[in-house]
Amino acid sequence: MEHQIPPSPPHVLIFPLPLQGPIKCMLKLAELLCISGDIDVTFLNTQHNHRRLLQYTAVESRFSAYPQFRFQTVSDGLPDDHPRSTDRLGDLLKGLWTVTHPNFKEMLSSGSFDRPVTCVIADGALTFALDVAEEVGIPLIYFETISPCGLWTYFCVQKLIDAGEIPFQGDDLDAPIQSVPGMEDFLRRRDLPSFCRTTDLNDPIIQLAMGECRQVPRSRGLILNTFEELDRPVLSHLRSLCPNLYPVGPLHTHLVKKTRLEIESTPPQRASSDSLWQEDKSCITWLDKQPLRSVIYISIGSLAMMTMEQLVEFWHGLVNSGVQFLWVRRPNSIVGEDLAGQIEELLEATKERGCLVSWAPQEEVLAHPAIGGFLTHSGWNSTLESLMEGVPMVCWPYFVDQHVNSRFVSEVWKIGIDMKDTCDRVVIEKMIKDLMDVKGDEFRQSMDWLSKFARESLSVGGSSVCNLNRLIEDIRAMKV
Ligand SMILES: O=c1ccn([C@@H]2O[C@H](COP(=O)(O)OP(=O)(O)O[C@H]3O[C@H](CO)[C@@H](O)[C@H](O)[C@H]3O)[C@@H](O)[C@H]2O)c(=O)[nH]1
């Protein structure tokens, strides 16, 4: 009698851009794929980030619940003590293209994974991943963890150049933009992705964004961290170029079924932490002592930086507003240390009013009843996390998609105030007071409405769940 060899399960290789936001989203997706039961998953992290994840999170024990899951690492080409800060992002990009790219190619073509890879899910910015996957004949799906509204403006960069709208002629940043379909009524020059402010169209970041837009439509599909009801018009524009979209978000809110072992061995937790920095939980104890909606949370995410002068303006604005604050001052996030003395004086004078940490458990913070507002850099993950917890925002975007996101927050979704291109203590004071005392309720109402749609999209039969199920089915069908 002939023995049938059981078919091997589909095996997805997940390859994030080695940055906090993308890693967090893709780990969540990895977990959801593992839960589907019959898909093997390998998560390809850079060695540097993997070491940090192991150091600061319980990711290893969390994923030990899934026997079909593996971590694998690859070099990012930089020495371990390199700061990998935003002002040195060029080094990271160079390392990715000159070292990670050939290593990835070697890994995929020589079969260095313990099971054959049947599908690659890579970050949209890793443009080389599609060429490699095509060469070795493995289907690839891209995942753009930036906002869909930001991504749509990336897709329109060539159109903006052809229409003469970029590089900007003259210095009026309030001039309206006409070459981004669907955004003609509210988009100004200052709301375009930060790289559009360049006068040199050969700038590596604008070239990277344009390269991304050439590659993404050639892939098998595009995963987005949003839900249909939030981004319907933008998604319909994106579908004209990438017909196979999977809007599966907001990813951080998807329920993960816990195994019994996990439930028994860990106290109930709101969110799984996938931080690349040590979370300082003392801020939660501090928040527990503050009145309802009395605190503004300030964080500029994992990449944005500010100068000492800007920090001083923020501090004065905050203190003058009289609002209690929880401020994340991430290591390596300040440019120029010459005003350090002034900061220490300010700190001393205001320590009764605020709590300062170097990295916070952000999802837990935003869910805390004492939080009444969020002064944010408008990274896409922070925006979704704030929206889902009903926390209105003052937006101070730093770069890439954040300039578009903050415009959508204020003009389209009406859930916050856009403070881009301003860093003046008087304006900061006014915006914080407006957010906390005047407009907060109105913004919270819009957010209630949007987060209700989000929860529906994540329930049985909801759009994000259906899109996730379709993604899982498509991955199963790619089995070789
Ligand atoms: O003290 C902190 C600060 C942040 N976070 C988390 O870090 C993530 C930060 O992500 P995001 O808000 O998207 O900001 P960036 O880290 O700046 O993200 C990059 O990647 C995003 C897409 O993934 C883009 O939208 C951004 O523009 C880009 O800068 C969020 O999940 C936060 O919850 C913490 O846990 N603790």
Kindly report the pTM of this predicted structure. 0.95
- Summarised one tens digit per residue, pLDDT across range 45-74 is 999 999 999 999 999 999 999 999 999 999
Query: Residue 264: what pLDDT?
Result: 41
Residues 60 and 128 in one domain: yes
Peptide bond before residue 167 is cis, with ω within 30 degrees of 0? yes
Residues 256 and 360 in one domain: no
Residues 303 and 391 in one domain: yes
Q: Is residue 347 scored above 80 in pLDDT?
A: no
- Mutational test site, ligand 1, from 381, 383, 396, max ligand atoms within 8 Å of CB: 381
Is-contact 149 42, C-beta < 8 A? Answer: no
Q: Is residue 193 scored above 50 in pLDDT?
A: yes
The verdict on the CB of residue 386 being under 6 Å from ligand 1 is: no
Per the prediction, the chain carries an average pLDDT of 92
Indicate whether 74 belongs to any domain: yes
Residues 396 and 309 in one domain: yes
Q: Is residue 7 scored above 80 in pLDDT?
A: no
Q: Is residue 260 scored above 50 in pLDDT?
A: no
Two tokens, residue 201: 């169209």
Q: Is residue 354 scored above 50 in pLDDT?
A: yes
Phi, psi of 74, deg, nearest 5: -145, 155
Residues 237 and 128 in one domain: yes
Residues 309 and 236 in one domain: no
Indicate whether 46 belongs to any domain: yes
Indicate whether 349 belongs to any domain: yes
**Position 111 confidence tier, pLDDT thresholds 50, 70, 90:** confident
Nearest CA to ligand 1 atom 16: 302
Nearest CA to ligand 1 atom 4: 301
Query: Residue 350: what pLDDT?
Result: 79
Residues 430 and 465 in one domain: no
Domain count, the chain: 2
Residues 324 and 406 in one domain: yes
Is-contact 308 336, C-beta < 8 A? Answer: yes
Alpha helices in 322-424 (DSSP H): 340-350, 362-366, 380-389, 402-407
Residues 124 and 249 in one domain: yes
Residues 406 and 463 in one domain: no
The verdict on the CB of residue 365 being under 6 Å from ligand 1 is: no
Q: 272 Cβ partners below 8 Å, 6+ apart?
A: 28, 31, 62, 256
Q: Is residue 6 scored above 80 in pLDDT?
A: no
Q: Is residue 263 scored above 80 in pLDDT?
A: no
Q: Is residue 225 scored above 80 in pLDDT?
A: yes
Strand ranges in 300-337 using DSSP code E only, listed in sequence order: 306-307, 324-328, 334-335
The verdict on the CB of residue 400 being under 6 Å from ligand 1 is: yes
The verdict on the CB of residue 402 being under 6 Å from ligand 1 is: yes
**Complex ipTM tops 0.95:** yes
Indicate whether 161 belongs to any domain: no
Residues 118 and 63 in one domain: yes
Indicate whether 277 belongs to any domain: no
Alpha helices in 80-203 (DSSP H): 89-95, 101-109, 128-136, 148-155, 157-162
C-alpha 19 – ligand 1 centre gap (Å) = 9
The verdict on the CB of residue 21 being under 6 Å from ligand 1 is: yes
**Position 262 confidence tier, pLDDT thresholds 50, 70, 90:** very low
State the Cα–Cα distance between residues 242 and 37, nearest whole angstrom: 28
Indicate whether 189 belongs to any domain: no
Q: Is residue 216 scored above 50 in pLDDT?
A: yes
Q: Is residue 463 scored above 90 in pLDDT?
A: yes
Q: Is residue 279 scored above 90 in pLDDT?
A: yes
Indicate whether 448 belongs to any domain: yes
Query: Residue 381: what pLDDT?
Result: 97
Instruction: Choose the weakest-confidence range: 129-138, 139-148, 251-260.
Output: 251-260
Residues 317 and 359 in one domain: yes
C-alpha 388 – ligand 1 centre gap (Å) = 15
Bigger pLDDT: 273 or 165? 165
Q: Angle formed by the axes of helices 101-109 and 128-136, to 10°?
A: 20
Indicate whether 43 belongs to any domain: yes
Domain with residue 67: its CATH number is 3.40.50.2000
State the Cα–Cα distance between residues 20 and 23, nearest whole angstrom: 5
Number of H helices, E strands in the chain: 20, 15
- How far apart, in Å, do the first and last CA atoms of the chain sit? 25
Residue 83 sits in which domain range?
11-145+219-271+458-477
Nearest CA to ligand 1 atom 34: 362
State the Cα–Cα distance between residues 206 and 370, nearest whole angstrom: 40
**How would you classify residue 475: left for phi > 0, otherwise alpha for psi between -120 and 50, otherwise beta?**
alpha
Query: Residue 2: what pLDDT?
Result: 58
Q: Is residue 313 scored above 70 in pLDDT?
A: yes
- Summarised one tens digit per residue, pLDDT across range 12-46 is 999 999 999 999 999 999 999 999 889 999 999 99
Q: Is residue 113 scored above 90 in pLDDT?
A: no
- Summarised one tens digit per residue, pLDDT across range 290-301 is 999 999 999 999
Query: Residue 442: what pLDDT?
Result: 96
